[in-house]
Chains A and B, each alone.
Chain A
């Protein structure tokens, strides 16, 4: 047994600031394992194998749905034709380049379905993170007013035309980010002001916040000229219409960054579901993690809203379904929600643009019609559980 020469702590009594961050290396093995200790069975927890399997499977499924959705629209393209045209790549030369199906596929549908996947995935990942952060299974960026905040930020920028682009890049997401961040901080403040996080307080706060932001947006819209205003209304209802490739690529950078940050905090999110005090007692630097999560959630919501307006309920129903099937561990929940959220919105958008073709339904209408009833069902069930 090694000996310890001096009680190291006593040598510096000069107050906290004088103490270098110590590492307690003199740690005894206070918890010796018994002979033949068995590990926790993998079946009860998330294992790396399961993570890989589910992520890979859902990724493949997303790819299949992506290709399938490309075929539908005002002009139907057969599956074989879609794969053949996809195989030629975006920069095909000569005759194929001028073929109508090639143009429809590469210039219209690929960017649009890609946008739907990214928007749906981001909303679902943000929803799952907000639910953990606010310890509320009904949190969703749309329901609790974060999306409206982002929309207000973007609307202010558009209607007053302030600094809309820097170096040719749209800075709309930046204003939407600021709006989302503001809304998130207000919602969080409402949530914590009741001591423990109450599900209904948060929803009520979200409803009021939504009403205020919507009123402000409508007020600003009436100030604007009619042409701008009608575009604004279409955008507010949630629309994935007409993105071009550069736009989608810029958005992809923002969204990948945001989702990567959320996933990097997955274990901390697991612990945050226990409450901030418990998370802190388990070694989570709660304040730092919260700042990172706020920033990432605002970035994702802001970018998504700036590009596609208000699309609701994806962030609510998708994580809920994923939890039921794959468990609550955020390391898988965020990835799986992202994939399934993307799949869900690709399908919803396909319905939106084919159901009344050639007229398009705003995709936000489709998600609200699917997600709204699910939300109400969950709300009633939640209440029953509290009563029981």
Chain B
């Protein structure tokens, strides 16, 4: 058992209370918000999928949780404590974010990239922030978990999309987070890699109790792999609940503005979406 006391289970990882965010300058931002009065609780150990049409505020919601963007109104609590009071590094030690795209113009090796995940754990009061043996061990395990350990000396600029995505998730794992936020983790990947990433995320959630919040355009993948789904439209929560409640309900047609056919996945029995002819 660890020497640390356990995080009280009655403190959910995230609570959002009437959060409103807009990209414009302060006065007008609230009038044209990207997120409108969003309130939700993210439970410990769940996989929450965020769905919605383009421009519905899915990615913005993740960035607000990561405090990349700071909402104009409302309150966010991270493990019961106000989000705004933390130094950025303190958040990064508990929450990791995998962006939709990673571009890198400079020839870093995969190992260097993954070790960047150790940045929030460094003491940088002086010196150049050299990684210690624990940093290297954690990064190596993260690389093995994501099956990129053998790519350690390769350059990030020379990887395929799937390899790069796995390396970025490894970097997120190197942060030793309790919550993993993923922005379209399977976009741009072929079927094989989609399945691989989805299974890895599922496994991390089951084996390590990692709380996962993922944004996806892929309704079926989300239905398969998420415990709960949240449907956004124009920055507002339309419905939040189990895949049955969200996918099978009529809200999906309303939000996407087109008719859909919903049946059951032959193996899992989860709801499955197809478009009518």
- Which chain A residues have a beta carbon within 8 Å of chain B's beta carbons? 1-4, 7-10, 12, 15-16, 19-34, 37-41, 43-48, 51, 131-132, 135-137, 196, 263, 266-267, 270-271, 273-275, 277-278, 280-285, 323-324, 327-329, 331
Contact = CB atoms under 8 A, between A and B. Distances in A.
Interface of B: 1-8, 10-11, 63, 66-68, 75, 77, 79-94, 96-97, 99, 102-112, 114-117, 119-120, 122, 124, 128-131, 133-134, 136-141, 143, 152-153, 171, 173, 175-178, 208-210
Nearest to B113: A274
B112 A7 contact: no
A156 to B, nearest CB: 32
Contact of A37 (B92, B119, B137, B173): B137
19 contacts: A7-B8, A16-B82, A19-B84, A19-B85, A24-B94, A27-B4, A30-B208, A30-B210, A31-B141, A40-B143, A46-B112, A266-B128, A270-B108, A273-B108, A274-B104, A275-B99, A278-B97, A280-B88, A323-B107
Nearest to B156: A328
Contacts of B96: 281
A46 B129 CA distance: 11
Given A29-B2, A270-B108, A278-B102, 18 more contacts: A15-B82, A16-B85, A25-B4, A26-B5, A26-B7, A30-B177, A30-B210, A34-B141, A38-B140, A40-B152, A41-B152, A44-B110, A45-B112, A48-B130, A131-B106, A273-B106, A281-B92, A282-B119
Given A137-B105, A283-B120, A8 B81 contact: yes
Contacts of B75: 15-16
Given A9-B77, A19-B81, A277 B63 contact: yes
Instruction: Decide if the interface of chain A is mainly helix, strand, loop or mixed.
Output: loop
Pick from A1, A43, A274, A329 the residue with the most CB of B within 10 Å.
Answer: A274
Contacts of B120: 282-283
B39 to A, nearest CB: 15
A323 B106 contact: yes
Nearest to B90: A24
Given A24-B79, A280-B88, A40 B5 contact: no
B105 A30 contact: no
A202 to B, nearest CB: 12
A19 B152 CA distance: 42
Contacts of B93: 27, 283
A40 B114 contact: yes
Nearest to B209: A30
Contacts of A47: 130
Nearest to A273: B106
Contact of A328 (B2, B68, B108, B130): B108
B102 A274 contact: yes
B117 A282 contact: yes
Contacts of A34: 141
B156 to A, nearest CB: 9
B68 A280 contact: yes
B122 A31 contact: no
Nearest to B95: A281
A327 B108 contact: yes
A372 to B, nearest CB: 21
Chain B CB within 10 Å — which of A46, A275, A331 has the most? A46
A179 to B, nearest CB: 28
A281 B90 contact: no
A279 to B, nearest CB: 9
B107 A282 contact: no
Contacts of A135: 103, 105
A266 B141 CA distance: 25
A132 B105 CA distance: 9
Nearest to A329: B112
B129 A267 contact: yes
Contacts of A271: 116, 119
A3 B116 CA distance: 33
Contacts of B103: 135, 196, 275
Contacts of A16: 75, 82-85
Contacts of B3: 29
Contacts of B116: 270-271, 274, 282
B141 A37 contact: yes
A357 B209 CA distance: 74
Contact of A22 (B66, B81, B110, B140): B81
B82 A28 contact: no
Contact of A281 (B85, B97, B137): B97
